[in-house]
Chains A and B, each alone.
Chain A
Amino acid sequence: MGEVHTWAGLLFGWLLYFMFVTGTAGYLDTEIDRWMRPELPVAQYPQPGAAATAAATQALDYLQAQAPDARRWSIQLPVDRNEPHLRVAWQPTSGGAAQSAWLDVHTGAPIPVRDTAGGQLLYQMHWRLHYLPPEAAEWMVALASMALLLALLTGIVVHRRFFADFFTLRLGKGQRSWLDAHNLAGVASLPFQLMISYSGLIFVMFSFMPLIASAWYGPAPGAGRAFYAELFPPMATALPSGQRAAPAAIAPILADARQRWGGAEAAVLEIAQPGDARARISVIGNFAAGAVRSAGILVYDGANGALLAERPAWQSTPRATRDLLLGLHEGLFAAPPLRALYLVSGLLGCAMIATGMLLWTAKRRERAQRGPPAWPAGLALVERLNVAAIVGLPVAIAAYFWANRLLPTDMAQRAPLEAHLLFAVWLALFAHAALTPPRRAWRQQAWLAALAFGALPLLNAATTGRHLAQSLPAGDWVMAGFDLAALALGLAFALGAWWLQRRRP
């Protein structure tokens, strides 16, 4: 049991740490988005009732002028912290990537913003692993989640004094202290860790356990499609007729949806083949309205405004169970206090994994002082990988924020370059850790992290007008909060670096 815990933890530890750090940042994805797009004004949401109708009308006018021949339009209304701005996107007829634009919620005028993938990139990285093909990434993430669940369960079993040591943290005792910190971080946030690893597996269940669907739908390649079509049935789809027709007015459609949903507002409008006589308008409710991650969908005829199909938010208990687990994992419904607790638990997860990895080396380092180590190359490898993984990753993420402010705003391929810079800096830190004795590498990278985060508010002040001296008096808590959090992180890394500096060998 102990061996399983050790090796599942070690082999998947770095990947899990990457998933936890980027996933924890994902709990602040839209706040990071807003810091990374300083051109956008302070968000004004929600915009209920007549304001929602006005915003939808302006978005439709913009799309009609900008992309009348698109295959698909989509309009994101400013409903909550997850979607704070009015945003439109369209799929060009020629194929190619979807285009998007942010609109002023009152005037409908487009707001030019720098090209960045924002906080969404960090959030999506935690399961897409950025450079990997989707299937490979999904399998790796599924195996890592499984390993985490296994490590948690075996961890509870091998933690012999689970209750006696519940609140114990003995400092300054080498290996014992790392074990206490590892146990405390894990035990304190155990409900979250169990939920996050199990619900993470639920996200990938169709890929991770394909044989269950195959048992009913057959192993043929097309059978998977039949399974999905039954699980997520398409609603009132139609092929384009090729004939143009005047679009139905949006105000009565939104009013009808509002009335059917007991006053709840629509969050998303999707228009398939706009301008065609067989246009379809899907009105989608807010997925983040509650812990169960589901929303009602209403499909209207885009030409005459008649309701064609309806899907309620609650379809069946098994499905709602799945939606609840997915909703708990994403935490989109969480108001600021619960979001802060999600953040604490996520950070504790990072700490649990990091201290686990450090414990592995601390144990073997202490053993090596008494006699020859069992596997000296392995110990050296893990020690060095730990430095660049544990401190290097935060530095790389800070570099992503620096790139956001320093790359010219009119640059081509700007968003991908920001991400490349994140990984380039990380790679450089792995090289640094490989070439530097671990003790010195820890210290240097921790100071670098302190500097990279601590100076972010200065960088923001130097490159935008929305710095702390402006955002704090204006009560712009998203911009100010990001800067203050960067300062706090910088301070935390500086304390860590200072502690490493004065620690005697």
Chain B
Amino acid sequence: MMLALAFALTWLGLAALALAMDRHAGLLGCRRPALRPALRALGLTALAAALGCTLPCMEPAPALATWLGMLAPATLCTAAMLTWLQRPPVSGRSASGSASRSRRQNQSH
């Protein structure tokens, strides 16, 4: 149970760190730079909390290994989520054309 929570926190933390990055910031619908430090702080706090969740479950060494291990599937989940959210709309347009179109839309917000 605690480990499931730890994984959820790891995922949340990495997702927050990703949204604080230039490339993925548009997904939130606004590009307010003021949000970045808050997202970054949220991400780091969530990652630290995840480590805090693994520690009571086992000895410190396996707990640290588990936390580091969780980063791998959580990174994959975050990347898959971002890829899915940024997927080109299903239409006859070429992939590159629709990508640049969505980027323009994001900037106009």
Interface residues of A (CB under 8 A from B): 163-173, 184, 187-189, 191-192, 290-292, 324, 328, 333-335, 337-338, 341-342, 344-345, 348
Contacts and interface: CB of A to CB of B under 8 A. Distances in A.
B79 interface: yes
Given A169-B79, A170-B83, A171-B83, A345 B69 contact: yes
Given A173-B95, A188-B75, A344-B72, A291 B83 contact: no
Contacts of B59: 290-291
13 contacts: A164-B21, A164-B22, A166-B75, A167-B14, A172-B95, A184-B79, A188-B72, A188-B75, A334-B65, A337-B66, A341-B70, A342-B69, A344-B72
Nearest to B7: A337
Contacts of B75: 166-167, 184, 187-188
A338 B72 contact: no
Contact of A341 (B73, B80, B82, B83): B73
Contacts of A334: 62, 65
B61 A345 contact: no
B65 A338 contact: yes
B3 interface: yes
B89 to A, nearest CB: 14
A324 B78 CA distance: 31
B49 interface: no
B51 to A, nearest CB: 13
A344 B75 CA distance: 12
A334 B63 CA distance: 10
B47 to A, nearest CB: 13
Contacts of A290: 59, 61-62
A195 to B, nearest CB: 9
Tell me what chain B mostly uses at the interface: helix, strand, loop, or mixed.
helix
Contact of B62 (A170, A184, A192, A291): A291
Nearest to B57: A337
Contact of B72 (A163, A192, A292): A192
B71 interface: yes
B72 A348 contact: yes
A166 B22 contact: no
Contacts of A171: 83
A338 B69 contact: yes
Given A167-B75, A173-B95, A184-B79, A328 B65 contact: yes
Contacts of A192: 68-69, 72
B68 A191 contact: yes
B56 to A, nearest CB: 14
Contacts of A167: 14, 18, 21, 24, 75, 78-79, 82
B95 A341 contact: no
Interface string B2-33: 01000000000010001001111000000000
Contacts of A170: 83
Given A172-B95, A290-B61, 8 more contacts: A167-B21, A188-B76, A291-B65, A324-B61, A333-B62, A341-B66, A341-B72, A344-B69
Nearest to B63: A338
A165 B21 CA distance: 10
Nearest to A170: B83
The 10 A-B pairs with the shortest beta carbon distances in the complex, nearest first, are A341-B69, A188-B75, A291-B61, A189-B72, A167-B79, A191-B68, A167-B18, A188-B72, A169-B83, A169-B79
A164 B95 CA distance: 21
B4 to A, nearest CB: 9
Nearest to B14: A167
Interface in B44-64: 58-59, 61-62
